[in-house]
Structure 1
Amino acid sequence: MQYAPADAHVHFALHPDHHPAVIATTTGPTADAARSHLHDFGWRSTGPATMVLARIDCEEPHYTAQAAEQLRRYGFTTEIDPALQEEIDTEWVWGNYPFPWCSRDEVREVSAAAQRIHDDIAAGRLVIHLHAHDGHTIVAVGSYKEGVRRHVHLHGEDHLRQETDIAFGTEAEAVAEFHRLYGVAVRPGPAPLTSREQAVRQLLAGKPPSATEETPAPAAEPPVAEPGEHEAFLAALFDEDRQWEKYRPFDETTVASHESLTVRLEFDHEARHRTDVAWTIAEYDGPAGERLWHATLTAGTPVPLIRAMLQYLDAPPLTTADHPDDVLHAAVWHPTSHPARTTWTAPDRTITFESTPHATADRWTLYGGENLDRAAWTMRLSAGVPQALLAELAQTAADLFPPPTRPTPRPLPAPARGLPAAVPTQRARGR
């Protein structure tokens, strides 16, 4: 039985700016009926006569072929562009797929489940409470708000995101277990969108990257100390600043005390990786007093920040601002407030200053990069650190690049990664 006359026509073609997304153009007296069916198949309207299918699993050609077949059964006329048909006919595999034992159909099942999770989050049906980085990938805890209320842990990103096998009866139980599993790595709310998620949501909102628009500048890289720069700074510190006395209890560690006997630092000469702690600095309440606060700095921390901290501890400048917020506001950094923290982000998004007022060990964090879980370097300061020192660090961070005269707009999200060229002999693509 035909559900629509043959004068309704649907043309499918690859999206010009985001492969392998697909654009469907509907024409004819019954175009509205065709659009209704396409909506059920996952397409979203981007104009009076156009709809787009954009997925995080890069399976748009496969699902386009299924939709075209269904529309033909309903009586619609469909046309598939040759380039899209070639994509439909081409078999491909994910490069470095973590489940190599899965068949092609099983891979699609995993990806389809990840797509449903993504759609539920985007639509607000699944609310993410917390996220963390477990050392390999992003994990999260959330609750479904529609139908049977479920509270789940999620593992993975994009086409690999899955629900774990753990079942929870209440939101509190799910959140408590998440805190137990991931501890200090836990962050409030959902994780930042991946580049693929950003591109998909942009397309579904009818704002595809356009070749006619000015291409956004690539994301700026955060300033990072070069190899050996910390070593050179440490050597210069003892040569030029006689207020510090050093000794080296082990070949890999240098320890130094300030002449006031209230400040102590340790430097690990073996620190190389971006997550390795290279400096540990602490201030005490007198030569034999209690520790007031401490800080840890990883191997890539820019030397100007280390110099600013040690200079402040040696002789606090009289012109230091009272609070880091004042400095960052004047430097046009972007503030963001969350229930558990407040962040200030540099205009070029290369450096972030974060305050977690309820924490003790990491009350203040300064890091380079857009994401703390993948930061190029990190400075962590405990509760008790002087506000004037924080302001001095904020000013130094702001001075690492020229401040703009007005807030710089956030660049458009980068499109999802393109597909490598096909392997001619196998008609396969690595994704």
Structure 2
Amino acid sequence: MPYAPADAHIRFTLHPDHHPAVIATTTGPTADAARCHLHDHGWRSTGPTTMVLARIDREEPHYTAKAAEQLQQYGFTTEIDPALQEEIDTEWTWANYPMPWCTREEIREVGAEAQRIHDDIAEGRLVIHLHAHDGHTTVAVGSYTTGVRRHVHLHGENHLRLKTDIAFSTEAEAVSEFHRLYSVAVRPGPAPLTDLEQTIRQLLAGETPSTAEETSAPAAEPPVAEPGEHEAFLAALFDEERQWERYRPSDETTIASHESLTVRAKFDHEARHRTDVAWTVAEYGGPVGERLWHATLTAGTPVPLIYTILQHLDAPPLTTADHPDEVLHGAAWHPASHPARTTWVAPGRTIAFESTPHAVADRWTLYGGEDLDRAAWTVRLSAGVPYNLLAQLAGTAADLIPSPTRPSPKPLPAPARGLPATAPAQRTRGR
């Protein structure tokens, strides 16, 4: 094991301009040795005392923790900023991962392979000859220039880019098969860099990431519930909506039970991280009937979405709504189809609504945040959820991000204490 005296100090912090990239600041007489170890773990120098870790799989906190542990074993002193430590402790999940059968560790293995491919291309070890779009994602053919010369086909982008199982002995064979598979879609050279790839290159060069939106107009802040908003909403629910009864089976949990005895909402007071489920809502076929459907909402979910679900359960509309995509199309959300799902993305890419028709537990997913791949909040709804509720949720989500094709909604009169200003007006209950 290498020896390093404890007079070298490495401090790890989240990158201020690109979450969740990590900056390492090295000081002390043996800082050069520490920087060598960090380089082996994927960090790249951006200054005399700073290095940055920016990965295509967005797993920087996880790999920072592993690097810090190894540096400590080598005798270095490490310090992890509290905000970064919180990221390390939060076992987040991809909101729209296309391989739901993978375990968390298997997802990391896929991401690590994508990172190796990304690094090989960026550093010239893998030269891309041609690329194409197969109708769903980007594909490419390339050759390795170091070690045993290999010729490969690639499939996917960013954290999902992998080598296919086809092996080729020559470049001509690989290119010929690529032309056969993708025909007129084939284009010369590598595909244009994705937004994430461009950002990573800027970060590794020590530059501040920039986008076209930043140069023209400031981007809208993604809607996320602030700490305490859910607690305030829960208190107002019992104060203003008398049809809900409160039960407190433990210090951590409050249950809201509707007077019809067919609806229950459980709130977890301990939910803090973006992946923690704060609300579990369920509707039943009768006071002693089977569960018809359920929903889970994480700690950062905007309060208007919670209100929409509970108000629908309290006073469902008398008419049945059509498919929610009509609402989203009208709000200029962009649809994208995949064999396993359909996803609608809001203008500005801060909210997405996803349908997975073959799933049972998570048939519908609404999620949002600054980075949709690492959603700040998630609403999951099971099979059986009424279409009119989905349409109402779609409308509330669309109001959170005003569409460029229509003006922002007019402000409503001041709501009752604790209830969201963007919530729909109270409806007359039909029995």
Q: TM-score, normalised by structure 1?
A: 0.52
Aligned to 1:293: 293
Aligned to 1:266: 266
Give the CA deviation at 1:127. Answer: 3.0
Q: Superposition pairs for residues 23-422 of structure 1, below 5 Å? A: 94-95=51-52, 111-112=119-120, 115=123, 120=128, 123=131, 124-125=140-141, 126-128=153-155, 138=159, 141-143=162-164, 147-148=168-169, 193=194, 195-197=196-198, 215-318=215-318, 321-369=321-369, 371-405=371-405
Asked whether the equivalents of residues 57 and 112 of structure 1 are also in contact (C-alpha less than 8 Å), the reply is no
Give the CA deviation at 1:196. Answer: 3.2
For residues 263-313 of structure 1, give each alpha carbon's deviation from its aligned partner in whole angstroms, at most 9, with x where no partner exists: 111000111111111000011111111111110000111111110110000
In 2, Cα distance between equivalents of 1:370 and 1:121: 34
Give the CA deviation at 1:259. Answer: 1.2
Give the CA deviation at 1:404. Answer: 1.6
Aligned to 1:78: none
In 2, Cα distance between equivalents of 1:355 and 1:239: 35
Give the CA deviation at 1:320. Answer: 6.7
SS of 1:394's equivalent in the other structure is: helix
Asked whether the equivalents of residues 220 and 348 of structure 1 are also in contact (C-alpha less than 8 Å), the reply is yes
Shift of the 57–314 alpha-carbon distance from structure 1 to 2, 3 Å rule, reads same
In 2, Cα distance between equivalents of 1:327 and 1:350: 17
Give the CA deviation at 1:224. Answer: 0.8
For residues 177-235 of structure 1, give each alpha carbon's deviation from its aligned partner in whole angstroms, at most 9, with x where no partner exists: xxxxxxxxxxxxxxx9453347879xxxxxxx999x99243443310111111111111
Asked whether the equivalents of residues 320 and 387 of structure 2 are also in contact (C-alpha less than 8 Å), the reply is no
Give the CA deviation at 1:317. Answer: 2.9
Q: Which runs of 5+ in 2 are unaligned?
A: 1-41, 54-62, 72-115, 132-139, 142-152, 171-192, 203-209, 408-431
How many residue pairs align between the two structures? 262
The structure with the largest alpha-carbon Rg is 1
Shift of the 315–110 alpha-carbon distance from structure 1 to 2, 3 Å rule, reads closer
In 2, Cα distance between equivalents of 1:114 and 1:380: 37
Asked whether the equivalents of residues 340 and 357 of structure 1 are also in contact (C-alpha less than 8 Å), the reply is yes
In 1, Cα distance between equivalents of 2:288 and 2:399: 36
The residue type equivalent to 1:222 in the other structure is P
The residue type equivalent to 1:345 in the other structure is V
SS of 2:155's equivalent in the other structure is: strand
Shift of the 193–250 alpha-carbon distance from structure 1 to 2, 3 Å rule, reads farther
Q: TM-score, normalised by structure 2?
A: 0.52
In 2, Cα distance between equivalents of 1:109 and 1:128: 11
SS of 2:400's equivalent in the other structure is: coil
Shift of the 121–263 alpha-carbon distance from structure 1 to 2, 3 Å rule, reads farther
In 2, Cα distance between equivalents of 1:121 and 1:271: 49
Give the CA deviation at 1:371. Answer: 4.6
The residue type equivalent to 1:369 in the other structure is G
Shift of the 95–226 alpha-carbon distance from structure 1 to 2, 3 Å rule, reads closer
Asked whether the equivalents of residues 360 and 383 of structure 2 are also in contact (C-alpha less than 8 Å), the reply is yes
In 1, Cα distance between equivalents of 2:300 and 2:318: 29
- RMSD between aligned residues: 4.1
Aligned to 1:34: none
Asked whether the equivalents of residues 363 and 381 of structure 1 are also in contact (C-alpha less than 8 Å), the reply is yes
For residues 100-149 of structure 1, give each alpha carbon's deviation from its aligned partner in whole angstroms, at most 9, with x where no partner exists: 999xxxxx999446645875498312333698xxxxxx466441656259
Give the CA deviation at 1:252. Answer: 0.8
Q: Which runs of 5+ in 1 are unaligned?
A: 1-55, 60-86, 103-107, 132-137, 150-191, 202-208, 408-431
In 2, Cα distance between equivalents of 1:332 and 1:280: 30
Give the CA deviation at 1:370. Answer: 5.8
Asked whether the equivalents of residues 121 and 127 of structure 2 are also in contact (C-alpha less than 8 Å), the reply is no
The residue type equivalent to 1:237 in the other structure is L
In 2, Cα distance between equivalents of 1:57 and 1:342: 36
Shift of the 95–319 alpha-carbon distance from structure 1 to 2, 3 Å rule, reads same
The residue type equivalent to 1:195 in the other structure is L
Asked whether the equivalents of residues 320 and 391 of structure 1 are also in contact (C-alpha less than 8 Å), the reply is no
In 1, Cα distance between equivalents of 2:231 and 2:211: 47
* Relative contact order, higher structure (CA 8 A, sep 6+): 1
